[in-house]
Amino acid sequence: MPFIFIFLFLLSLIFASSCLGPFSQKKAEMNIRIDTTGKTKLSYEQISAMLEKLAQSEAPKELSMGAMCYKQAGPPRRAEYICPDCGHRTLYTEDKAAFITRSLPTILALLHNLQAIDLTLDQSQFCKKCKPEIEDPQIGIKIHYSDTNYVHEYQGLNDVDLELIRDFLEGKNEHLSYYDRGTPLKNYIPRLEQVLGVKLKKE
């Protein structure tokens, strides 16, 4: 008799696992397929209202004092820019070499933090094959605002500009400089308006 009870118990476990298995697998597959990246881009009106909110906010009473200044290693005097579109190599020296080796990598890294806006980076001016007529290459951006069908174009972007946009989109009220010295973000509203192509919304 005990063997019969053991056999029935094992049989019930096998039956339960066979019933729950597909359900659990189906539930796991549903979780994997959930798309959490399809965020709606911020509109012109929303950006304008956010700028107005920042303008009306109080500046932080306590700002980061930053770290002590330290001597940085000098930038390379020569650097090659490799075009991501055609693969052509363009040699730059002095200031542009520093921009390519320091500022440009930071700009590219910061793009991942700016997915709330429909932004496209344009670095084609740095390629002598794509834009041979350009003497002073600059980084450009295009921002598309779907609510107004307006496309804002700006040339002369730097890494600090994208840091300001990142801080603005994240709702911060302080911007940290290279040495982590804090400055009220509202001080940069004119620059944000220029780069984003949006004027703050006056109530």
- pLDDT > 90: what percent of the chain? 59
Q: Tell me the pLDDT tens digit for each residue of 43-75.
A: 999 999 999 999 999 888 777 776 555 556 666
Instruction: Look at residue 68 in the predicted model and tell me its pLDDT.
Output: 56
pLDDT in the model for residue 199: 85
Phi-psi region of 24 (alpha: psi -120 to 50; beta: other; left: phi over 0): alpha
pTM for this entry: 0.74
Per-residue pLDDT, averaged over 106-125, amounts to: 94
What is the secondary structure of 98-163 as a DSSP string? HIIIIIHHHHHHHGGG-TTSEEEEE-GGG-TTT-TT-SS--EEEEEEETTTTEEEEEEEE-HHHHH
The residue-averaged pLDDT of 4-31 equals 40
- What residues does each domain of the chain span? 44-65+73-196
Grade residue 8 by pLDDT with cuts at 50, 70 and 90. Answer: very low
* CA–CA dist 73, 99 (Å, integer): 14
What average pLDDT does range 142-156 have in this prediction?
94
What mean pLDDT is predicted for residues 87-97? 95
Backbone φ/ψ region at 149: left (φ over 0), alpha (ψ -120 to 50), beta: left
> Cα separations (Å) of 81 from 25, 128, 136?
49, 10, 14
Residue 145 near residue 43 (C-beta atoms within 8 A): yes
